[in-house]
Protein backbone atom coordinates (compact mmCIF):
# COMPACT_ATOMS: atom_id res chain seq x y z
CA UNK A 1 0.00 0.00 0.00
CA UNK A 2 1.20 3.47 -0.87
CA UNK A 3 -0.97 6.51 -0.33
CA UNK A 4 1.23 8.95 -2.24
CA UNK A 5 -0.25 10.52 -5.39
CA UNK A 6 0.25 9.51 -9.03
CA UNK A 7 2.01 12.22 -11.09
CA UNK A 8 0.50 12.89 -14.52
CA UNK A 9 1.81 15.41 -17.02
CA UNK A 10 1.07 16.85 -20.44
CA UNK A 11 2.04 19.92 -22.43
CA UNK A 12 -1.28 21.48 -21.41
CA UNK A 13 -4.88 20.47 -20.93
CA UNK A 14 -5.09 17.32 -23.06
CA UNK A 15 -3.73 14.95 -20.40
CA UNK A 16 -6.85 15.64 -18.35
CA UNK A 17 -8.58 13.07 -20.60
CA UNK A 18 -6.19 10.52 -19.05
CA UNK A 19 -6.92 11.89 -15.55
CA UNK A 20 -10.64 11.40 -16.24
CA UNK A 21 -10.07 7.73 -17.13
CA UNK A 22 -7.86 7.18 -14.04
CA UNK A 23 -10.42 8.80 -11.74
CA UNK A 24 -13.08 6.47 -13.17
CA UNK A 25 -11.05 3.27 -12.82
CA UNK A 26 -9.07 4.14 -9.68
CA UNK A 27 -11.23 6.60 -7.70
CA UNK A 28 -9.18 6.23 -4.50
CA UNK A 29 -5.91 7.33 -6.09
CA UNK A 30 -4.79 10.93 -5.58
CA UNK A 31 -3.38 12.70 -8.62
CA UNK A 32 -0.89 15.52 -9.18
CA UNK A 33 -1.42 16.93 -12.66
CA UNK A 34 1.15 19.13 -14.36
CA UNK A 35 0.22 21.08 -17.52
CA UNK A 36 3.12 22.90 -19.14
CA UNK A 37 0.88 25.68 -20.44
CA UNK A 38 3.71 28.22 -20.86
CA UNK A 39 5.61 26.02 -23.30
CA UNK A 40 2.94 24.19 -25.28
CA UNK A 41 2.53 22.97 -27.96
CA UNK A 42 5.12 20.20 -27.73
CA UNK A 43 3.92 18.76 -31.05
CA UNK A 44 6.01 21.14 -33.13
CA UNK A 45 9.16 21.17 -30.95
CA UNK A 46 12.48 19.38 -31.26
CA UNK A 47 13.20 16.12 -29.45
CA UNK A 48 15.96 17.79 -27.42
CA UNK A 49 13.58 20.42 -26.04
CA UNK A 50 10.75 17.99 -25.26
CA UNK A 51 13.24 15.78 -23.36
CA UNK A 52 14.51 18.80 -21.41
CA UNK A 53 10.98 19.92 -20.44
CA UNK A 54 9.88 16.38 -19.56
CA UNK A 55 12.91 15.86 -17.30
CA UNK A 56 12.15 19.10 -15.43
CA UNK A 57 8.51 18.15 -14.90
CA UNK A 58 9.20 14.59 -13.71
CA UNK A 59 11.81 15.93 -11.26
CA UNK A 60 9.19 18.39 -9.96
CA UNK A 61 6.50 15.70 -9.56
CA UNK A 62 8.86 13.30 -7.78
CA UNK A 63 9.89 16.11 -5.42
CA UNK A 64 6.16 16.57 -4.73
CA UNK A 65 6.10 12.91 -3.66
CA UNK A 66 4.66 11.20 -6.77
CA UNK A 67 4.91 7.38 -6.50
CA UNK A 68 4.48 6.80 -10.24
CA UNK A 69 4.55 8.97 -13.37
CA UNK A 70 2.17 8.87 -16.32
CA UNK A 71 3.38 10.72 -19.40
CA UNK A 72 -0.11 11.72 -20.59
CA UNK A 73 1.16 13.31 -23.79
CA UNK A 74 1.76 11.38 -26.99
CA UNK A 75 4.50 13.75 -28.15
CA UNK A 76 6.43 13.54 -24.85
CA UNK A 77 5.95 9.74 -24.80
CA UNK A 78 7.28 9.45 -28.36
CA UNK A 79 10.28 11.66 -27.69
CA UNK A 80 11.20 11.37 -24.03
CA UNK A 81 9.84 8.17 -22.41
CA UNK A 82 13.02 6.08 -22.78
CA UNK A 83 15.18 8.92 -21.46
CA UNK A 84 12.85 9.47 -18.48
CA UNK A 85 12.87 5.77 -17.58
CA UNK A 86 16.67 5.85 -17.67
CA UNK A 87 16.94 9.05 -15.59
CA UNK A 88 14.38 8.17 -12.91
CA UNK A 89 14.94 4.45 -12.39
CA UNK A 90 13.37 4.29 -8.91
CA UNK A 91 9.94 5.47 -10.06
CA UNK A 92 7.65 3.52 -12.42
CA UNK A 93 6.99 5.64 -15.52
CA UNK A 94 4.47 4.79 -18.22
CA UNK A 95 3.47 6.53 -21.45
CA UNK A 96 0.37 6.51 -23.64
CA UNK A 97 1.67 4.87 -26.82
CA UNK A 98 2.11 1.24 -25.75
CA UNK A 99 -1.29 0.85 -24.03
CA UNK A 100 -3.08 2.49 -27.01
CA UNK A 101 -1.23 0.24 -29.45
CA UNK A 102 -2.09 -2.92 -27.51
CA UNK A 103 -5.76 -1.91 -27.48
CA UNK A 104 -5.74 -1.20 -31.24
CA UNK A 105 -4.07 -4.54 -32.01
CA UNK A 106 -6.86 -6.28 -30.08
CA UNK A 107 -9.61 -4.25 -31.80
CA UNK A 108 -8.39 -4.54 -35.40
CA UNK A 109 -9.54 -7.50 -37.47
CA UNK A 110 -7.91 -6.74 -40.83
CA UNK A 111 -4.65 -5.57 -39.18
CA UNK A 112 -4.79 -2.25 -41.00
CA UNK A 113 -4.51 0.43 -38.35
CA UNK A 114 -4.56 4.20 -38.81
CA UNK A 115 -2.75 6.52 -36.41
CA UNK A 116 -3.42 10.24 -36.13
CA UNK A 117 -1.37 12.62 -34.00
CA UNK A 118 0.74 15.75 -33.91
CA UNK A 119 3.47 16.27 -36.49
CA UNK A 120 6.14 15.33 -33.93
CA UNK A 121 4.41 12.10 -32.87
CA UNK A 122 3.83 10.96 -36.45
CA UNK A 123 7.36 11.91 -37.53
CA UNK A 124 8.84 9.92 -34.62
CA UNK A 125 7.15 6.73 -35.95
CA UNK A 126 6.73 5.68 -32.31
CA UNK A 127 3.30 4.10 -32.99
CA UNK A 128 4.71 2.22 -36.00
CA UNK A 129 7.43 0.69 -33.81
CA UNK A 130 5.02 -0.12 -30.97
CA UNK A 131 2.44 -1.76 -33.27
CA UNK A 132 5.04 -3.72 -35.24
CA UNK A 133 6.58 -4.95 -31.96
CA UNK A 134 3.16 -6.32 -30.96
CA UNK A 135 2.47 -7.94 -34.34
CA UNK A 136 4.76 -7.60 -37.34
CA UNK A 137 1.83 -8.25 -39.73
CA UNK A 138 0.06 -5.03 -38.76
CA UNK A 139 0.04 -2.38 -41.49
CA UNK A 140 0.23 1.13 -40.09
CA UNK A 141 -1.16 4.19 -41.91
CA UNK A 142 -0.25 7.49 -40.24
CA UNK A 143 -1.49 11.02 -40.68
CA UNK A 144 -0.49 14.14 -38.79
CA UNK A 145 -3.41 16.47 -38.07
CA UNK A 146 -1.84 19.72 -36.85
CA UNK A 147 -5.07 21.75 -36.89
CA UNK A 148 -6.90 19.47 -34.47
CA UNK A 149 -5.18 20.74 -31.29
CA UNK A 150 -5.94 24.46 -31.83
CA UNK A 151 -9.56 23.63 -32.72
CA UNK A 152 -10.00 21.64 -29.50
CA UNK A 153 -8.33 24.40 -27.46
CA UNK A 154 -10.81 26.85 -29.01
CA UNK A 155 -13.69 24.57 -28.05
CA UNK A 156 -14.59 24.13 -31.75
CA UNK A 157 -15.31 20.42 -31.52
CA UNK A 158 -18.39 20.46 -33.74
CA UNK A 159 -19.65 22.44 -36.74
CA UNK A 160 -18.86 22.98 -40.38
CA UNK A 161 -15.23 24.07 -39.99
CA UNK A 162 -14.09 21.02 -38.02
CA UNK A 163 -16.15 18.71 -40.29
CA UNK A 164 -14.19 19.98 -43.29
CA UNK A 165 -10.85 19.56 -41.52
CA UNK A 166 -11.70 16.02 -40.42
CA UNK A 167 -12.61 15.13 -44.02
CA UNK A 168 -9.42 16.75 -45.29
CA UNK A 169 -7.17 14.75 -42.97
CA UNK A 170 -8.99 11.42 -42.94
CA UNK A 171 -10.18 10.98 -46.54
CA UNK A 172 -7.17 8.83 -47.44
CA UNK A 173 -7.99 6.40 -44.61
CA UNK A 174 -11.58 5.56 -45.40
CA UNK A 175 -11.57 2.22 -47.18
CA UNK A 176 -8.35 0.66 -46.01
CA UNK A 177 -8.40 0.44 -42.28
CA UNK A 178 -10.73 -0.85 -39.59
CA UNK A 179 -9.23 0.92 -36.56
CA UNK A 180 -7.84 4.39 -35.86
CA UNK A 181 -5.73 5.30 -32.82
CA UNK A 182 -6.44 8.80 -31.53
CA UNK A 183 -2.74 9.40 -30.91
CA UNK A 184 -3.00 12.77 -29.21
CA UNK A 185 -4.50 13.58 -25.83
CA UNK A 186 -6.71 16.31 -27.33
CA UNK A 187 -8.40 14.05 -29.86
CA UNK A 188 -10.90 12.24 -27.57
CA UNK A 189 -12.85 15.50 -27.61
CA UNK A 190 -13.16 15.16 -31.39
CA UNK A 191 -14.35 11.55 -31.16
CA UNK A 192 -18.01 12.34 -32.10
CA UNK A 193 -17.07 14.40 -35.16
CA UNK A 194 -14.43 11.86 -36.31
CA UNK A 195 -16.87 8.98 -35.74
CA UNK A 196 -19.49 10.74 -37.86
CA UNK A 197 -17.01 10.83 -40.73
CA UNK A 198 -15.35 7.38 -40.48
CA UNK A 199 -18.62 5.61 -39.51
CA UNK A 200 -17.87 1.96 -38.61
CA UNK A 201 -14.10 2.29 -38.28
CA UNK A 202 -13.23 1.66 -34.61
CA UNK A 203 -11.65 4.53 -32.69
CA UNK A 204 -9.13 3.79 -29.94
CA UNK A 205 -8.93 6.44 -27.26
CA UNK A 206 -5.76 5.53 -25.41
CA UNK A 207 -6.89 7.22 -22.15
CA UNK A 208 -8.84 4.22 -20.85
CA UNK A 209 -6.11 1.83 -22.04
CA UNK A 210 -3.57 3.90 -20.08
CA UNK A 211 -5.72 3.78 -16.94
CA UNK A 212 -5.88 -0.03 -17.19
CA UNK A 213 -2.11 -0.21 -17.69
CA UNK A 214 -1.54 2.09 -14.69
CA UNK A 215 -3.77 -0.17 -12.59
CA UNK A 216 -1.65 -3.17 -13.57
CA UNK A 217 1.63 -1.39 -12.70
CA UNK A 218 0.27 -0.24 -9.31
CA UNK A 219 -0.61 -3.87 -8.55
CA UNK A 220 2.71 -5.19 -9.80
CA UNK A 221 4.71 -2.69 -7.71
CA UNK A 222 2.33 -3.10 -4.74
CA UNK A 223 1.81 0.67 -4.52
CA UNK A 224 -1.98 0.97 -4.69
CA UNK A 225 -3.65 3.47 -2.40
CA UNK A 226 -4.98 1.85 0.76
CA UNK A 227 -7.45 4.62 1.66
CA UNK A 228 -11.10 3.90 1.06
CA UNK A 229 -11.97 7.58 0.47
CA UNK A 230 -11.96 9.43 -2.86
CA UNK A 231 -8.54 10.63 -4.02
CA UNK A 232 -7.71 14.30 -4.54
CA UNK A 233 -6.67 16.12 -7.73
CA UNK A 234 -4.10 18.94 -7.47
CA UNK A 235 -3.05 20.74 -10.63
CA UNK A 236 0.07 22.74 -11.47
CA UNK A 237 0.60 24.87 -14.57
CA UNK A 238 3.39 27.07 -15.91
CA UNK A 239 1.06 29.84 -17.16
CA UNK A 240 -2.56 31.04 -17.17
CA UNK A 241 -4.05 29.07 -14.25
CA UNK A 242 -7.51 30.69 -14.62
CA UNK A 243 -7.77 29.70 -18.28
CA UNK A 244 -6.69 26.16 -17.40
CA UNK A 245 -9.41 25.99 -14.76
CA UNK A 246 -12.04 27.26 -17.23
CA UNK A 247 -11.13 25.04 -20.21
CA UNK A 248 -10.12 22.05 -18.07
CA UNK A 249 -13.77 21.29 -17.41
CA UNK A 250 -14.25 20.27 -21.08
CA UNK A 251 -11.44 17.73 -20.84
CA UNK A 252 -12.19 16.39 -17.37
CA UNK A 253 -15.97 16.44 -17.55
CA UNK A 254 -16.17 18.14 -14.12
CA UNK A 255 -14.92 21.33 -12.53
CA UNK A 256 -11.38 21.62 -11.17
CA UNK A 257 -9.84 23.79 -8.47
CA UNK A 258 -7.65 26.62 -9.69
CA UNK A 259 -4.17 25.18 -10.31
CA UNK A 260 -0.97 26.44 -8.67
CA UNK A 261 1.37 28.43 -10.86
CA UNK A 262 4.89 27.00 -11.12
CA UNK A 263 7.49 29.44 -12.38
CA UNK A 264 10.68 28.36 -10.62
CA UNK A 265 12.11 25.22 -12.16
Active site residues: 73, 184
CA distance 22 to 218: 12
Out of 179, 185, 206, 225, which residue is the one contacting ligand DGL (CB under 6 A)? 185
Choices 106-114, 117-125, 130-138, 166-174 (CB under 6 A): range interacting with ligand DGL: 117-125
In angstroms, the CA 117 to CA 88 distance is: 27
Residue (70 or 223) nearer to ligand DGL, CB: 70
Task: For residues 218 and 137, give the distance between their C-alpha atoms in angstroms, rounded to a whole number.
Answer: 31
Is 214 within 8 Å of 240 (Cβ atoms)? no
- Residue among 17, 30, 54, 74 that touches ligand DGL (CB under 6 A): 74
Q: Which stretch binds ligand DGL (CB under 6 A): 68-76, 135-143, 174-182, 199-207?
A: 68-76
For position 29 contacting ligand DGL by CB under 6 A, the verdict is no
- Angle, helix 160-170 to helix 191-198, in steps of 10 degrees: 60
In the list 5, 7, 14, 248, the residue contacting ligand DGL (rule: CB under 6 A) is 14
**Looking at beta carbons only, is 26 or 184 nearer to ligand DGL?**
184
Residue 76 CB, nearest approach to ligand DGL (Å): 7
Contact positions vs ligand DGL (CB under 6 A): 10-11, 14, 40-43, 73-75, 117-118, 121, 149, 184-186
Amino acid sequence: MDNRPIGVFDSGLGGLTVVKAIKKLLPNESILYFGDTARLPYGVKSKKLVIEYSNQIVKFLIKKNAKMIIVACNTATAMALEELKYNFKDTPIIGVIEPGSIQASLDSINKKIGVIGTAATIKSRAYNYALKAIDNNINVFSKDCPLFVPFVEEGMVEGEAINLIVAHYLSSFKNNIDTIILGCTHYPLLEPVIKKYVKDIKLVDSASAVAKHANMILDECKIKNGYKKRGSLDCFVTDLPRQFEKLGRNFLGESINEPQLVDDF
